[in-house]
Amino acid sequence: MRLLPALAVMILFSPADSARAGGDGRVMEIVTFRLVAGATEADFLAAAAGTEDPLRSQNGFLGRTLTRSDAGVWTDHVLWSSTAAAMTGADAMMANPAFGPFMALIDGQTVEMRHDPVLWQMD
């Protein structure tokens, strides 16, 4: 592992970023899963797009990213303003019919979910 010189670290770690070091209550919801047999990436991404408006309307929602590993494991990263917002949002989304097509493509037996505090972030 190559270490960066101190000047490079100072440039990469700006004052705006350092203000966030140590956390500010934000929480990253991290959900890993596989798709059900026969589900295509295109179908899943279309179903994910159908969840955009209801998710954006949730108090405390800050952002979302979907990733997929080469091994076919998906990760849904959802940034919330707090743990309470994450829990309230998750409950609301599970009850929202817009999430039905999205959830139907996920193999429920493979789902792992956690909520980790955001300790540092670069925008």
Do the Cβ atoms of 110 and 33 come closer than 8 Å? yes
pLDDT for 16-37, tens place per residue? 333 344 567 999 999 999 999 9
| Count of the separate structural domains present in the chain | 1
Q: Within a domain: residue 83?
A: yes
Q: Which residues contact 102 (CB under 8 A, 6 or more apart)?
A: 44, 47, 48, 50, 51
In a domain, 48, yes or no: yes
- CATH classification of the domain holding 110: 3.30.70.100
Tell me whether residue 92 is in a domain: yes
pLDDT at 94: 87
User: Is there a domain that residue 65 lies in?
Assistant: yes
Residue 14 covered by a domain: no
Nearest to 93 by CA among 117, 68, 121, 113: 113
DSSP state of 119: -
In a domain, 12, yes or no: no
Residue numbers of the domain that contains 63: 22-117
E strands, 1-123, in order: 27-33, 61-68, 74-80, 112-117
Check pLDDT > 50 for residue 11.
Answer: no
Q: Would the pTM of this model clear 0.85, i.e. be above it? A: no
Average pLDDT of 77-96?
94
**50 or 94, which is more confident?**
50
State residue 24's pLDDT score: 75
* pLDDT tens for each residue of 32-86: 999 999 999 999 999 999 999 999 999 999 999 999 999 999 999 999 999 999 9
